[in-house]
């Protein structure tokens, strides 16, 4: 059910309006997973992985975010698509524009993260080498992600990612873009620390990408919020402690070469 702008009663969207946008997002995400797995072979250097040039990283990051985040966006994409009424073609275009605005915010997040990581690397702080403070910094970022799971800010942003009734409907393609940008902002507020943990563990690791994507998908698609949040927090807490104290025993963690 949806209520397009300017209408007082809801319209019943046909199945194509609800199903096709989801299938399209899942197909795009699947293709991006294939591309990501191919491009990242042999590139995982663990925490502190070289991010390369900004342009190259931006393309890789956008592909990663499409792979990891678009499936969990499906309920909101359906809500946006249904604003087009009963026309499946218009609903598909509207869903794509909505997803574009959503990914735009994640692109901004990636560029900011790139600037922070490369800025820190340029300082050549040798005490941050792995085996000295480096493993504690990486583990500390993961612990910060665990603690953020329990905050009011996380709960508020997750509520906006789960409850389609909180979506501010806006007409037209510009409205769909604005809705996507707004939803992207809430999603960054919800999952930004999980992505920070991905940088700390090895941003070019497909294994860690799969883990973070699974956590995001579970939180956004399953209704048992206290359980999913608590499970995520405990998992990140244990992982952060393990990275600090016994990094060699952490599965999938590539130990960086010392500086």
**H or E element, residue 179:** helix 172-202
Mind giving me the DSSP string for 117-156?
HHHHHHTT-GGGSTTTTHHHHHHHHHHHHHHHTTSHHHHH
pLDDT tens digits along 76-105: 988 888 876 657 788 889 999 999 999 999
Picking from 183, 106, 201, the residue whose alpha carbon sits closest to that of residue 145 is: 201
Q: How far apart are CA 44 and CA 50, in angstroms?
A: 9
What's the pLDDT at 7?
Answer: 42
Q: DSSP character for 2?
A: B
What's the pLDDT at 84?
Answer: 62
Q: How far apart are CA 94 and CA 222, in angstroms?
A: 25
pLDDT tens digits along 163-200: 988 888 898 899 999 999 999 999 999 999 999 999 99
Buried b (16+ CB within 10 A) or exposed e, 155-186: eebbebbbeeeebeebeebebbbbbbbbbbbb
Q: How far apart are CA 240 and CA 101, in angstroms?
A: 32
**Token output for 160:** 């906006």
Rounded to two decimals, what is the model's pTM?
0.89
Residue 2 has pLDDT above 90, yes or no: no
3-state secondary structure of 11: strand
Q: How far apart are CA 160 and CA 170, in angstroms?
A: 16
């Amino acid at each position: 059910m949806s209520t397009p702008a300017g209408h007082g009663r809801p319209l019943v969207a046909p199945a194509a309006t609800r199903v096709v946008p989801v299938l399209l997002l899942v197909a795009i995400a699947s293709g991006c997973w294939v591309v990501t797995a191919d491009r990242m072979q042999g590139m995982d250097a663990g925490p502190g992985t070289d991010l390369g040039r900004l342009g190259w990283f931006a393309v890789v990051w956008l592909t990663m975010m499409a792979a990891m985040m678009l499936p969990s966006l499906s309920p909101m994409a359906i809500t946006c698509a249904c604003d087009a009424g009963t026309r499946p073609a218009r609903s598909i275009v509207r869903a794509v524009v909505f997803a574009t605005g959503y990914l735009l915010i994640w692109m901004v997040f990636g560029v900011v993260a790139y600037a922070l990581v490369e800025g820190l690397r340029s300082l050549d702080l040798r005490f941050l080498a792995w085996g000295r403070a480096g493993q504690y910094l990486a583990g500390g970022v993961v612990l910060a992600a665990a603690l953020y799971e329990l905050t009011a800010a996380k709960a508020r942003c997750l509520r906006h990612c789960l409850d389609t009734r909180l979506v501010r409907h806006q007409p037209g393609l510009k409205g769909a873009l604005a809705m996507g940008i707004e939803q992207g902002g809430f999603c960054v507020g919800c999952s930004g620390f999980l992505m920070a943990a991905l940088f700390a563990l090895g941003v070019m690791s497909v294994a860690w990408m799969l883990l973070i994507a699974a956590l995001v998908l579970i939180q956004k698609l399953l209704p048992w919020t206290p359980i999913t949040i608590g499970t995520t927090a405990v998992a990140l807490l244990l992982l952060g402690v393990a990275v600090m104290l016994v990094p060699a025993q952490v599965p999938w963690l590539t130990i960086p070469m010392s500086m």
